[in-house]
């Protein structure tokens, strides 16, 4: 039996960042992770960091706050390791046909947004870095940059710093139940013992609904699988660090078409070709569609059909990749809110001490550092440094009290 102020469920970026901020504020924290640190989405993503969102003010402020933390960690070395914060050049490429379609609808609006951000469509022969190996029918591009971090170092560094500040981290430990007494969380039951606790932070990513059911609430999160492939080490055949080509012309909020006969559409494949800076190989990505959670543990299985579509997409953009072998494939579950695609952050009305930090779909690494700070402020009873009422669980259930918790309790 352990006793603590806060139990954080999930050793992904959101759980780790929360544990880091709370431990630094002097709270007794235990983080419980059923596999290892960064076992799921936080260990399978590209590590691209946004600084701004042109359409959403809250996201923009959270991204800016997180980016500032990454800069501080990069400069101070506080996380005990180099987090490899760097700027990467990006080329978004388009065919003539795509540019024609940009005169209408969704893609017209996307082009206007890019224009507002100072990103302009440029003809191939005017790109600042020529790409002789990009397929000849790709005649237009938008050149931009993104920040990138080393996701494993950030996650392990946050775990290390949280522990240095007194937090306990239990890996290979699965939460089986959360007990609520008189409307307040009291105990977390794991397969390796119980934890008496005042607060529970549900940062279980795509598994957050399972933890929700333990306290009798429905959390509308679905697992959106994303897959990436690693090539063998190979001499560089591209100049931009990241090349993006979106063959589907999809709405980013509807990344796949579930009943399409075209596998690329059904699996939501967009081509991203990333040059790995230190390993001399390429990472080829990515896909997105809804699947079931893994039947056991956090290990997400890759699917042969998705691997084939991603590889074919990469070869379509850089034909020379046909001669390069894939040595590994991996996948992670993005937690996506099926109601509105937005994060769910904050304490749940009617269950004192039960706090949600989940549903960060495509941008968990950009959101994570600041989100952990906001969750820590909620637990400390402070006014959050960014107002996040619209991300609260109560947006689904107005004036929700939970008088029937005992009827809905469900143990995994």
Ligand X SMILES: Cc1cc2nc3c(=O)[nH]c(=O)nc-3n(C[C@H](O)[C@H](O)[C@H](O)COP(=O)(O)OP(=O)(O)OC[C@H]3O[C@@H](n4cnc5c(N)ncnc54)[C@H](O)[C@@H]3O)c2cc1C
Alpha-carbon distance values, 228 to 272, 304, 316, 320, 332 (Å): 9, 12, 16, 19, 9
**Residue 205 binds ligand X, judged by CB under 6 A:** yes
The SS3 of residue 97 is helix
- Name 87's Cβ contacts closer than 8 Å, sequence gap at least 6: 145, 146, 147, 148
Tokens, residue 105? 């609808």
Shortest Cβ distance from residue 103 to ligand X (Å)? 30
The dihedral formed by the CA atoms of 258, 53, 56 and 380, expressed in degrees to the nearest 10: 100
Cβ proximity to ligand X, 136 vs 296, nearer residue: 296
**Residue 144 binds ligand X, judged by CB under 6 A:** no
User: Out of 42, 150, 202, 265, which residue is the one contacting ligand X (CB under 6 A)?
Assistant: 42
- Span from 42-50, 161-169, 237-245, 376-384 in contact with ligand X (CB under 6 A): 42-50
**Binding pattern to ligand X, positions 162-201, x when CB under 6 A?**
------------xx--------------------------
Cβ proximity to ligand X, 102 vs 206, nearer residue: 206
- Give the torsion sign (CA, 262, 264, 265, 266): positive
Cβ proximity to ligand X, 32 vs 91, nearer residue: 32
In whole angstroms, give the CA distance from residue 377 to residue 22. 8
**Residue 15 binds ligand X, judged by CB under 6 A:** yes
Cβ proximity to ligand X, 102 vs 283, nearer residue: 283
Shortest Cβ distance from residue 130 to ligand X (Å)? 26
User: Out of 4, 7, 18, 45, which residue is the one contacting ligand X (CB under 6 A)?
Assistant: 45
Cβ proximity to ligand X, 79 vs 333, nearer residue: 333
Lookup result for tokens 């950009």: 366
**Residue 33 binds ligand X, judged by CB under 6 A:** yes
Count of beta carbons in the 10 Å neighbourhood of residue 25 = 15
**Residue 363 binds ligand X, judged by CB under 6 A:** yes
Task: Compute φ and ψ for 228, nearest 5 degrees.
Answer: -140, 155
**Residue 336 binds ligand X, judged by CB under 6 A:** no
**Residue 207 binds ligand X, judged by CB under 6 A:** yes
**Residue 47 binds ligand X, judged by CB under 6 A:** yes
**Residue 283 binds ligand X, judged by CB under 6 A:** no
In whole angstroms, give the CA distance from residue 47 to residue 50. 10
First to last CA, the chain: 20
User: Out of 93, 195, 203, 356, which residue is the one contacting ligand X (CB under 6 A)?
Assistant: 203
Cβ proximity to ligand X, 67 vs 140, nearer residue: 67
Cβ proximity to ligand X, 102 vs 224, nearer residue: 224
In whole angstroms, give the CA distance from residue 1 to residue 30. 12
DSSP state of 233: P
In whole angstroms, give the CA distance from residue 14 to residue 199. 16
**Residue 14 binds ligand X, judged by CB under 6 A:** yes
Cβ proximity to ligand X, 67 vs 402, nearer residue: 67
User: Out of 8, 19, 32, 69, which residue is the one contacting ligand X (CB under 6 A)?
Assistant: 32
**Residue 369 binds ligand X, judged by CB under 6 A:** no
**Residue 273 binds ligand X, judged by CB under 6 A:** no
> Are 368 and 14 within 8 A, CB to CB?
yes
Tokens, residue 296? 């056991």
**Residue 106 binds ligand X, judged by CB under 6 A:** no
Q: Which of residues 284-303 bind ligand X (CB under 6 A)?
A: 285-286, 298
- Span from 160-168, 259-267, 326-334, 386-394 in contact with ligand X (CB under 6 A): 326-334
User: Out of 4, 18, 44, 306, which residue is the one contacting ligand X (CB under 6 A)?
Assistant: 44
User: Out of 141, 212, 223, 226, which residue is the one contacting ligand X (CB under 6 A)?
Assistant: 226
Among 134, 145, 136, 138, smallest CA distance to 99 is for 138
Tokens, residue 50? 């946004």
In whole angstroms, give the CA distance from residue 316 to residue 172. 41
Residue 2, sorted as left (phi over 0), alpha (psi -120 to 50) or beta, turns out to be beta
Tokens, residue 164? 């240095």
Count of beta carbons in the 10 Å neighbourhood of residue 146 = 18
Q: Which residues bind ligand X (CB under 6 A)?
A: 9-15, 32-35, 39-42, 44-48, 174-175, 203-207, 226, 228, 285-286, 298, 332-335, 358, 360, 362-366
């Amino acid at each position: 039996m352990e006793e603590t102020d806060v139990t954080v469920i999930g050793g992904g970026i959101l759980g780790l960042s929360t544990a880091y901020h709370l431990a630094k504020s002097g709270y007794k924290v235990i983080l419980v992770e059923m596999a290892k640190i960064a076992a799921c989405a936080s260990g399978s993503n590209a590590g691209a960091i946004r600084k701004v969102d042109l359409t959403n003010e809250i996201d923009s402020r959270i991204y800016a706050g997180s980016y500032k933390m990454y800069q501080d960690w990069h400069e101070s070395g506080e996380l005990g390791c180099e987090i490899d914060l760097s700027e990467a050049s990006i080329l978004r490429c388009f065919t003539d046909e795509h540019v024609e379609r940009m005169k209408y609808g969704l893609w017209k609006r996307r082009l206007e947004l890019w224009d507002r951000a100072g990103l302009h469509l440029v003809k191939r022969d005017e790109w600042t870095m020529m790409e002789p190996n990009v397929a000849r029918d790709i005649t237009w591009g938008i050149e931009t940059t993104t920040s990138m971090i080393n996701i494993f170092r950030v996650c392990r560094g946050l775990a290390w710093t949280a522990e240095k500040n007194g937090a306990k981290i239990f890996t290979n430990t699965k939460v089986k139940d959360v007990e609520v007494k008189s409307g307040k969380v009291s105990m977390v039951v794991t397969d390796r013992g119980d934890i008496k606790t005042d607060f529970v932070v549900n940062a279980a990513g795509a598994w957050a609904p399972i933890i929700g059911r333990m306290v009798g609430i429905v959390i509308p999160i679905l697992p959106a699988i994303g897959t990436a492939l690693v090539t063998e080490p190979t001499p560089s055949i591209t100049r931009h660090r990241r090349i993006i080509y979106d063959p589907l012309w999809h709405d980013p909020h509807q990344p796949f078409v579930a009943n399409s006969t075209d596998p690329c559409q059904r699996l939501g494949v967009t081509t991203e070709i990333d040059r790995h800076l230190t390993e001399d190989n390429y990472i080829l990505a990515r896909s997105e569609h809804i699947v079931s959670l893994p039947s056991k543990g956090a290990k997400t299985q890759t699917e042969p059909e998705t691997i084939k579509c991603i590889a074919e997409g990469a070869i379509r953009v850089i034909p020379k990749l046909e001669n390069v072998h894939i040595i590994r494939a991996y996948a992670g579950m993005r937690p996506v809110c099926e109601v509105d695609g937005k994060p769910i952050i904050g304490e749940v009305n009617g269950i004192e001490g039960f706090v949600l930090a989940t549903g960060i779909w495509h941008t968990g690494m950009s959101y994570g550092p600041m989100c952990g700070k906001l969750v820590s402020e909620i637990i400390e009873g402070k006014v959050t440094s960014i107002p996040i009422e619209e991300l609260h669980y109560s947006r689904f259930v107005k004036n929700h009290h939970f008088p029937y918790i005992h009827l809905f309790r469900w143990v995994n």
